[in-house]
Amino acid sequence: MLTTIEAYLTLRRATGFAMSNAEYLLKSFAAFAAGRGQTHVQTQTAIDWATLGPSVAQRDARLKAVCRFVRHVRVDDSRHELPPANHFGARKRRRPPHIYSAQEIDHLIEVALRLRPKGGLRPLTYATLLALLSATGLRISEALKLTVADVTGDGLLIRETKFRKTRLVPLHDTAAAGLQRYLARRQPRSDDDPIFIGKCGGPLRYIAVKETFDRLVSKAGIVMATRRRPRLHDLRHTFAVRALQGSPAGRSRSGAHMAALSTYMGHVNIYATYWYLEATADLMRDVAAAGEGFIYDGRRS
């Protein structure tokens, strides 16, 4: 079974998927099946192996990894059994995002500029990073991987991202000017230098950014209604929601706007973009109002 798994992983990676977690799970399952003397997937064995997961969500993820593999290999070998994907009945729940107001973002940047050492590069680094994330909706991983060479006259070149896609992200004139001011102070030595650097001069690490961001949020006094701490990734949610709120009126134009936003943000498909619509109460109210008008008054929006 291992040979078949390797071929499956190679094919999926060639289409842009990392497959690191899938590789671990499938090889674990193959070893479990081999222990029972099996060379093909059997439903009960897959369920028994998936049950070893410590939570319902993890059991569900384990079984679905096997199901995706089986759907692929059954085309050539029907001896593999396809387990019921929803056997564990798990439902994915996404944590509601915090949508930052313009005032909250301004306050975060102001607090970042007061970081220590006073007059050093660190305060400007974090203020510029937060401003860039807010203005572009970049993933934090994408921002931290940026090099000087990625800053072009047409925007930011985002290379080999989450789904191994490369895209160009245009910058507003004010965002481009702010980034150039930071680089002038930063004084990189070569085009290969990272834009954002840490205390020791190396690339800024995610764990350092997260810890600093959490402190900035506390100092800025920003809290969610649920009393949970707003996340760094919520800046990306905020950008997407604001972009959708500015969507042109009219169903066809809104659809084109959604497709353009999906491409801009580097989503592998548009369903990921729809999450930003579903996660925001005021946008859902707009959808509900349009649906109600269509049903009761025959209006189309």
Show Cβ contacts of residue 196 under 8 Å, excluding neighbours closer than 6 positions: 125, 128, 129, 143, 144, 146, 203, 204
Q: Which of 62, 64, 122, 236 is catalytic?
A: 236
Contact between 126 and 228 (Cβ < 8 Å): no
- Catalytic residue list contains 276: yes
- Catalytic residue list contains 165: no
Q: Which of 12, 13, 74, 162 is catalytic?
A: 162
Q: Which of 62, 98, 107, 139 is catalytic?
A: 139
- Catalytic residue list contains 145: no
Q: What is the strand order of the sheet 155-158 is part of?
A: 151-152, 155-158, 167-169
Listed as own residue / partner, the contacts of 22-26 with beta carbons closer than 8 Å and 24 or more positions apart are: 22/65, 22/68, 22/69, 25/61, 25/62, 25/65, 25/66, 26/65, 26/66, 26/69
Q: Which of 72, 233, 242, 257 is catalytic?
A: 233
- Catalytic residue list contains 172: no
- Tell me the catalytic residues: 139, 162, 233, 236, 267, 276
